[in-house]
Structure formats: structure tokens, C-alpha cells
Structure 1
Amino acid sequence: MRTEPNPGRLQRLFARLDREPERPASLHVPGMSRHRVALLGATLAFYLAIVWAVVINSWLVRLDWQVMFFRPYQQWPQVHAFLDYFVVLGQRGPTAVMVMAWLGWRSWRQHTLRPLLVLGASLLLLNATVGAAKYGMGRLGPHYATLIGSNEMGQGGDIFPSGHTANAVVTWGILAYLASTPRARRYLSAGSALVSLGVGLTTVYLGTHWLSDVVLGWAAGLLVLLALPWCEPLITRVEAWIFSLREAWRHRPAPVMPTPAAPVPVGASSDALPQSARTAEGGSLRDPSAEEGTKSGRDPVGAGHGGTGRTARQERAHNLRPDRAPGTPSGTRRPQPPDRVAPRSTSARPVTGG
């Protein structure tokens, strides 16, 4: 008995891609529950505690200097090349392009713009909050430190909190936030946590950030993810507005193109012209004298060129080249000079015109 082979993973993937796009019956939209509000408040308190510990030059600043003097990139130089590439997972440009490509495909499959709008809202919140904190506190990085044991605050720097770490938390955490099933949400949450943890520790290994910068970056990214449900009503209104614009564009009236007038031939009589050509723009009709001449069998006055009553054929017949004179009876086309005697003819009559 022969059985059909089980399709492989690649065949199942292609079969899923071949299905028609369809919008799910119910899209999971996280709400601002009490558990989320409590977690948001705890994360905000932790954020403020880290900032205060750095401002007052506490034990956290001393730990930052100890890690910097330890120089992890010199302790394990064999992983330096790999971590140079791994830290790209925290850069805003490359990660935004990768995640946007995946969410754009999901938007097309589900006939909704919510994944892309949620990503845009999260990146906007991230840039506003983290950017304001960076330039507001102005902390210098380990490579630019000026005084040992100092917190290096207010020196014009822009590394507190760590932008790489916060961006890794938000960009990869969006995938877990937009997951459609609880199982996928758990797996994506664990994956995004590992990536953000690795990116933060990689910046400490490379010496580009203090340890406190990375800890504050984790808290800053988590605050953005926890605050996203507050943006869901605005995202819904923006999506409905975009879809209404699309429907209005689809049902717009087609432009009416004007009908071009028929060309008027040169030298043609008024009866040979169509009615639209015989009527001018101002509404004037054709000439009555031209109609009378046509009915009597004579050409109307002005039908030819110059208004002399001659037809176009007569005009062409008398349109000779100016460099040639009319032919003579002897056949030459040039006038005879006055001192030249005409040749004798065998005829008894003299040649006239010579």
C-alpha cells in the first residue's frame, strides 16, 4: 500500500504563502490592565532610582569605573570580531528596516496597518524619551572620561541611557507585543529579552558605555513597551483615516477630456467643412455669399488663395519657379540675348519672338 509522502517544512511554508490574504476575525490588542500599570510604575521607579544613584556618585558609579578598568575587550579578545557584528542588532537603522519588512508583510496578509503604525509609534516614543534624557543629562562615555571616580554628568555627552540597549528592547519587543497567539508571544518575549541583554553587555565589553547606561537603557525600552496600549486608540483612528483616504481615491471621478476640433483644410470650400468647423468660437455662421456661389455652380469668392476667385488647382498651375522664364517657340527656356541672331529656319515663315 503506497502512502503519500508528508510535506516538508518548506512545502508547508510555500502552501501558507499561496493562501489568499485575509483579515483575522479578532486581532489581539493589548489593553492597559492593572498588572501592566503596576509593572509600568515599578519600572519608572527603578528608572528614577538609577538616575539618582548616578547623580549622587553612589556605589553604582564606582562599579562603572571598576568595570571600565577591567577592560573586558582585553580579557576576551577572541570574541571581539563577533561582537562587533552582533552589536548591530541594537542599531536603530538596520533593526528598523528588518522589523519593518516583516511587519509590512503581516500588514498585507491581514489587511491592516496596525503592525506598521505600532512600530512607528514605538520608535517615536523611543526617540523622544531616550533622546531627551541623553541630551538632558549630558554624560560622557568611558573613552572620554576626564576625572577618575566622577559620574561625568553635564559634560555634553549623549550616552546615558544606552541607545543601543533601549532600541534593542523596543524593536525586538514589538514582535512579541504584536504576536497573535500566547505561545508565539512567550517565545518572542524570551528571544527579544536575550537579544537586548546581549546587546547591552556587548556595549560594556566594547567600552562604549558604562554599566549604569545599559541598566537604564533596559528600563527605558521597557517603559516604551509598557506604555504602548495608551496609544492604541490613536492608532485605530489613524488607520481608519488612511483607509478612508484610500476609498476616496479609488472612487474619485474620472477626468473629462475635451474633444479636439477637426482640422480645417487649406483652400477648401465652406460646404466641404463640417458644421463644427463652419461655426466659429463666437457662434457666427458661414458666409451667405459663399452658399449662393456654391448653389449656382460657381466657386465662391475667396475660396482660393488671396480672395481672387481662383481655385487651388489654378494657383498651383501658375506657381512657377522664379529663376526660370516661360519657354519660347524654339524650345529654349532662357531669353535670347539682343545681339544674337536667330538661326535660319528651313520654313519660309520667319521665327517670331526671336
Structure 2
Amino acid sequence: MRTDIFARLDREPEPPKIETPRMSRHRIALFGGTLAFYVAIVVAVLVSSWLVALDWKVMLFRPYQQWPGLHAFLDYYVVLGQRGPTAVMVASWLGWRSWRQHTLRPLLTLGTSLLLLNVSVGAVKLGLGRLGPHYATQIGSAELFAGGDIFPSGHTANAVVTWGILAYLATTPRARRYLSALSAFVSLGVGLTTVYIGTHWLSDVLLGWAAGLLILLALPWFEPLITRAEVLILSVREQWRARRRQRASAPAAPTAPEPVLLPQSLGGGSGAEGAQEAAGMVPVPDSPAAAGHPGASTRARAHPAHPVRSERTPVTPAGSRRPPHADRAPRSNGSPVRPVTGGSVAP
């Protein structure tokens, strides 16, 4: 039994239409405010303002030394912001949602958000090239353009997007509230954990939160593209299935018949002709056996260079087949003279 998403789409009727989020004025205002906060963080780090000094104070405080008992737990907790494991977990859940709701939208939305995350966060990371706290070279410096890749925090931004997509795709207001609170708690904890273990500056975490929130707020602009992608995928799938059905129902191509040697007539015929027919010989075309069996005359015409045996003139050897004997006189062709009983033979 097929249990994939496409089988579910075939088996059951279409569900009620799921309302997709729209770019409302409230969402646009939140997007604009988050974008302004994002730009302010970048500028503050570029000019080495008070935010960079705060970064150094937190780093020199070394939280992992102040509360060492939390280190073992937080080493596992930070995995909730790692892209590979979180993408597998969330994709499994959204795959089940796609199967239940008869749509590919949850999986396509997750793929779109992760693509936007990699492009936007990766470009800023490589463009600014900031070094992490463990690799800092000068106290009070922003450590920019030094070949690093930790600004903004990828773990934090990934936690915001990956877990926030669950709230974005929620179908009821109650589920959306609960999932929003859960994703905020997870992403906040992941960001602070990276500061605790010393892999990120505090400003990296702030920018990571803003980067992930920008992607979630901008997703409604990509909903038409997601819808067109879903229609395209399903249409390609239907064309592929139609070709498979056509190949399965198409008749087999005709093949040339192979020559088959038909047996000669088993009945009729006597004498030499009957013996020839029983032995599988081809009869004379003008004979009754040939007229009754057209295949025999056809084979006779197919090999004109080899005449059939019935066309050959039998040759009877002359004389006796026994070898001559020295003590015997040869037999004469005349009738032998027999003696008359009671009489004499004239000399």
C-alpha cells in the first residue's frame, strides 16, 4: 500500500481551502521595525559603538566559568539551532501535515524559508567577516573583515526560522499562539546558549534574532510563488503518470512471423510417394499431395537448385549384382532345358 503524499492526494477528496497569511498593514509595520533594528545593529558594530564594548564585557565575564553546571546540558540544547538536525525534525512533521492536508504547501514553505535564510545570513556573514570571541585579537575591536563568519549568529537565525515556521503554518489561532510562544522560547534559549559557551558575541545573537524574524515576516510575499510551484509539481507528476499508463496500455509492436516447417501429410499416398511423405520429403508440385499441401510446393520453389527426390529418374542396374565366381558358368538368358521323365535327351 502506498503511503506517500501523492497517494494521499489521490485517495481522498480535496480538503477545505486553507487560508494563507497575507501581507497586512500590521505585518508590514513589524517588518519595517525589524529591518530598522537590523540596520541599527550592523551600524553599531561597524562604528565600534557601546554595543561592541558590551560584547567584550560579556565575553570577559565568561559565563561558562560562572555557571559550569549548565555546560553539559547546554551543549545538547544548542543543537536545537543547528540547521541539519532541526531541518530533519521539522520537515518530518510538515511532511505529515502535507499528507493530512492534501497539499505540498508546508514543505514548500519550509524550503523557501531555509533558502532565504541561507542567502541572506550567508551573504552578511561573508561580507562582514567578523571573528568570534575565541579568535579575537584586540580588546575593544569589532573584529570585522578578518575572515570570520559568525555575524549574525546562524544558530540563532535558524532557530527563529525553523521553529517559527510551525507557528506560521498553524491553521487555528490557538495553535498559532502556542507555537509562537514555543518557537520564541527555543530561539531565545539557543541565542543565549551561544553567548554562554563563548561561540558568539551578544551582538551576533541580536542580529540573528532580527534576521530570522525578517524572513518569517516576509514569507507572505512569496506565497504566490509557492502556489505556482505546487501547481507545477503536481502537473508534472500527472504528466509522468499519464505516460506510464499509456506505455502500460499500448499494444505490443507486431513482429515478423518466423518460418515454421509444417509436417507433411500423414495420410493418403501409397508406394514411393507415401514413403516420401512419411519421411518428410517434398512431393512433386503436380502430384495430388502437393496440391493438397501448398506449403510443400512453396518449399520446393524456395530451393530450385536442389530437385526433390520424386523428380529424379530411378536407375535400375543391369545384370546381376552378385560378383562373378570362377567355378560357375555364367547364366544364359534362355530357358534351361529340363529332362523329360522317362525319355532321353538327344545329343
Task: Summarize the alignment of residues 142-157 of structure 1 with structure 2, pairs less than 5 Å apart.
Answer: 142-157=133-148
How many residues matched? 276
**Distance of aligned partners of 1:208 and 1:235 in 2 relative to their CA distance in 1, 3 Å threshold:** same
**Distance of aligned partners of 1:129 and 1:291 in 2 relative to their CA distance in 1, 3 Å threshold:** farther
Q: Distance in 2 between matches of 1:21 and 1:171?
A: 30
Identical positions, percent: 68
Q: Distance in 2 between matches of 1:77 and 1:105?
A: 40
Task: Summarize the alignment of residues 135-146 of structure 1 with structure 2, pairs less than 5 Å apart.
Answer: 135-146=126-137
* Partner amino acid, structure 2, of 1:204: V
Q: Secondary structure at the match of 2:23?
A: coil
Q: Distance in 1 between matches of 2:71 and 2:226?
A: 42
- The CA deviation at 1:240 is 1.4
Q: Distance in 2 between matches of 1:198 and 1:292?
A: 106
- Cα contact 1:139–1:155 (8 A) shared by 2: yes
- The CA deviation at 1:73 is 1.2
The answer to whether structure 1 residue 208 and structure 2 residue 199 are counterparts is yes
Q: Name the structure 2 match of 1:76.
A: 67
* Partner amino acid, structure 2, of 1:309: V
Q: Deviations over 1:72-100 (max 9, x none)?
A: 11111112111111111101111111111
The answer to whether structure 1 residue 230 and structure 2 residue 221 are counterparts is yes
The answer to whether structure 1 residue 113 and structure 2 residue 104 are counterparts is yes
Q: Distance in 2 between matches of 1:123 and 1:24?
A: 27
Q: Distance in 2 between matches of 1:270 and 1:152?
A: 102
The answer to whether structure 1 residue 258 and structure 2 residue 253 are counterparts is yes
**Distance of aligned partners of 1:308 and 1:203 in 2 relative to their CA distance in 1, 3 Å threshold:** farther
Task: Summarize the alignment of residues 128-277 of structure 1 with structure 2, pairs less than 5 Å apart.
Answer: 128-252=119-243, 254-255=246-247, 256=250, 257-265=252-260, 268=262
Q: Distance in 2 between matches of 1:77 and 1:55?
A: 33
**Distance of aligned partners of 1:184 and 1:291 in 2 relative to their CA distance in 1, 3 Å threshold:** farther
- The CA deviation at 1:307 is 3.7
- Cα contact 1:61–1:150 (8 A) shared by 2: yes
**Distance of aligned partners of 1:297 and 1:69 in 2 relative to their CA distance in 1, 3 Å threshold:** closer
Q: Deviations over 1:195-223 (max 9, x none)?
A: 00000011111111001000000000000
Q: Secondary structure at the match of 2:58?
A: helix
**Distance of aligned partners of 1:22 and 1:104 in 2 relative to their CA distance in 1, 3 Å threshold:** farther
- The CA deviation at 1:297 is 7.5
- The CA deviation at 1:263 is 3.2
Q: Deviations over 1:281-330 (max 9, x none)?
A: xxxxxxxx9965621789543779x945369xxxxxxxxxxxxxxxxxxx
Q: Distance in 2 between matches of 1:99 and 1:185?
A: 16
Partner of residue 291 from structure 2, selected from 291, 295, 316? 295
- The CA deviation at 1:237 is 1.2
* Partner amino acid, structure 2, of 1:34: R
Q: Name the structure 2 match of 1:309.
A: 308
* Partner amino acid, structure 1, of 2:291: K
| Runs (5+) with no aligned partner, structure 2 | 1-10, 266-282, 311-327, 329-347
Q: Distance in 2 between matches of 1:290 and 1:133?
A: 98
- Cα contact 2:113–2:216 (8 A) shared by 1: yes
- Cα contact 2:166–2:179 (8 A) shared by 1: yes
Q: Name the structure 2 match of 1:62.
A: 53
- Cα contact 1:140–1:159 (8 A) shared by 2: yes
- Cα contact 2:46–2:142 (8 A) shared by 1: yes
Q: Name the structure 1 match of 2:91.
A: 100
- Cα contact 1:115–1:178 (8 A) shared by 2: yes
- The CA deviation at 1:194 is 0.2
Q: Distance in 2 between matches of 1:142 and 1:71?
A: 10
- The CA deviation at 1:71 is 1.0
- The CA deviation at 1:48 is 0.5
CA RMSD of aligned residues (A): 2.8
* Partner amino acid, structure 1, of 2:308: G
Q: Deviations over 1:26-61 (max 9, x none)?
A: 312110011100110000000000011111111111
- The CA deviation at 1:268 is 4.4
Q: Name the structure 2 match of 1:339.
A: none
Q: Distance in 2 between matches of 1:197 and 1:136?
A: 25
- Cα contact 2:284–2:308 (8 A) shared by 1: no
Q: Deviations over 1:142-167 (max 9, x none)?
A: 11111111000000100000000000
